[in-house]
Amino acid sequence: MSPDFRPSEMIRPQRKLTGISAILLPFTEAGEVDWTALQAHILRTAETGLMPAVNMDTGFLNLIDEPTKLRVLEITREVLHGAPFCAGAYSADEPGAAWCADEYLRQMELIQQHGGMPVIFQSYGLTGQAPAEIVAAYEQLAASCDRFLAFELTEDLLPFGKTYDLETYAALLKIPQCVGAKHSSFRREPEWQRLKLRDELRPDFKVYTGNDLAIDMVMYGSDYLLGLSTFGPDYFARRDAYWLAGDARFYELNDWLQYLGMFAFRDPSPAYKHSAAQFLKLRGWIPCDNTCPGSPTRPDSDVPVLAEIMQKLDALIA
Ligand SMILES: N[C@@H](CC=O)C(=O)O
């Protein structure tokens, strides 16, 4: 395993990208989940060719209760009619908690029963362990399913997130059921290192960038599982088509999507979910831009900025 790499030599032109989109859970004026809008957004996302990922950070997985999680899975199964999707498996806990395999296994079973592929959402109990124990935890979960995705999340978004050391990542690559991993450190270098390691050890393994601040990581060999794509699965689908075709229009579309990402994921970054609601309301896709109770908000003064970006993006895909 070598940490040496030249990003310019890693560029993979005209590659078919796999896009997974972490779906925003929309809310009504009364602070309830807007199930109708959720259903429409899952369907809209799948119709663009992106795979929906529900019950992720963008779906407020650590804030919603069990019946809500379950209803999200039911609606996703109903609306997709067998089309593939991913969903976060998570064991809610507190700092200092012990690893709780049983709850993860239960969540994974539920996701699979609904036709989804589990994404192992981190928790204090998982990431608070020593590296060897973290690997053993993933191996334990792997025994219960055919396919799952691992997920490294930045602490900027959730306090129990963790970026593993490269040895731990290499051990994940050796778990056959772990078919990919979302990398959301929000830094390029560890993702380039993971791509290099992937190419050396297991070329079929998917590195999904979760870096909403560097969505061009797809140029270097990453696929993506982004929250930003929930703002505009249609924009992302077009960008990906341009990359596959070697069309120069990829770059300007990517630039404007990145401007949207930089704006929406600025400090405090967890408020990006409110930005997403503001943007989806501007698009006419949800009737209310309330975010999940308990989640941080953006000011109303963001809306004209988002509107300008939306107009530019709409023009670019017209
Ligand atoms: N969009 C992600 C968070 C950022 O990487 C998610 O929903 O999990």
State which ligand 1 atom lies nearest to the alpha carbon of 186: 5
Q: How confident is the model at residue 184 (pLDDT cuts 50, 70, 90)?
A: very high
> What is the CA(62)–ligand 1 centre distance, in A?
12
Residue 182 phi, psi (nearest 5): -85, 130
Please state which architecture CATH assigns to domain 15-245. Answer: Alpha-Beta Barrel (3.20)
> What is the CA(123)–ligand 1 centre distance, in A?
14
pLDDT, mean of residues 299-303: 98
**Ligand 1 atom 1: residue of nearest CA:** 227
Omega prior to 299 cis, within 30 of 0: no
pLDDT at 3: 57
Burial (0-12, 13-18, 19+ Cβ within 10 Å), 258: middle
Distance CA 51, CA 20 (A): 5
State which ligand 1 atom lies nearest to the alpha carbon of 121: 8
Among residues 234, 194, 294, 255, the alpha carbon closest in space to that of 43 is found at 234
**Ligand 1 atom 5: residue of nearest CA:** 210
pLDDT, mean of residues 300-317: 98
**Ligand 1 atom 3: residue of nearest CA:** 57
Pairing status of strand 19-22 against strand 86-89: unpaired
pLDDT at 4: 75
> What is the CA(21)–ligand 1 centre distance, in A?
9
Quick one: which H or E segment has residue 110? helix 101-113
Distance CA 55, CA 90 (A): 9
pLDDT, mean of residues 175-180: 98
Ligand 1, CB within 6 Å, residue ranges: 22, 56-58, 157, 184, 210, 226-227
> What is the CA(184)–ligand 1 centre distance, in A?
7
Task: Give yes or no for residue 124 having a pLDDT over 90.
Answer: yes
Which phi-psi region, left, alpha or beta, contains residue 99 (left: φ > 0; alpha: ψ -120 to 50)? Answer: beta
**Ligand 1 atom 6: residue of nearest CA:** 57
Please, are residues 176 and 146 in contact by the beta-carbon 8 Å criterion? Answer: no
pLDDT at 122: 97
Residue 83 phi, psi (nearest 5): -70, 150
Q: Is 258 helix (H, G, I), strand (E, B) or coil?
A: helix
Q: How confident is the model at residue 66 (pLDDT cuts 50, 70, 90)?
A: very high
Please, are residues 120 and 150 in contact by the beta-carbon 8 Å criterion? Answer: yes
**Arithmetic mean of pLDDT over the chain:** 97
Residue ranges of the domains in the chain? 15-245
Please write the tens of the pLDDT for every residue from 4-36.
779 999 999 999 999 999 999 999 999 999 999
Contacts of 164 (CB under 8 A, 6+ apart): 131, 134, 152, 172
> What is the CA(2)–ligand 1 centre distance, in A?
28
Q: Which two tokens stand for residue 110?
A: 């539920």
Task: Give yes or no for residue 1 having a pLDDT over 70.
Answer: no
Please write the tens of the pLDDT for every residue from 205-238.
999 999 999 999 999 999 999 999 999 999 999 9
Among residues 115, 175, 133, 116, the alpha carbon closest in space to that of 150 is found at 175
pLDDT at 280: 98
Percent of the chain at pLDDT exceeding 70: 99
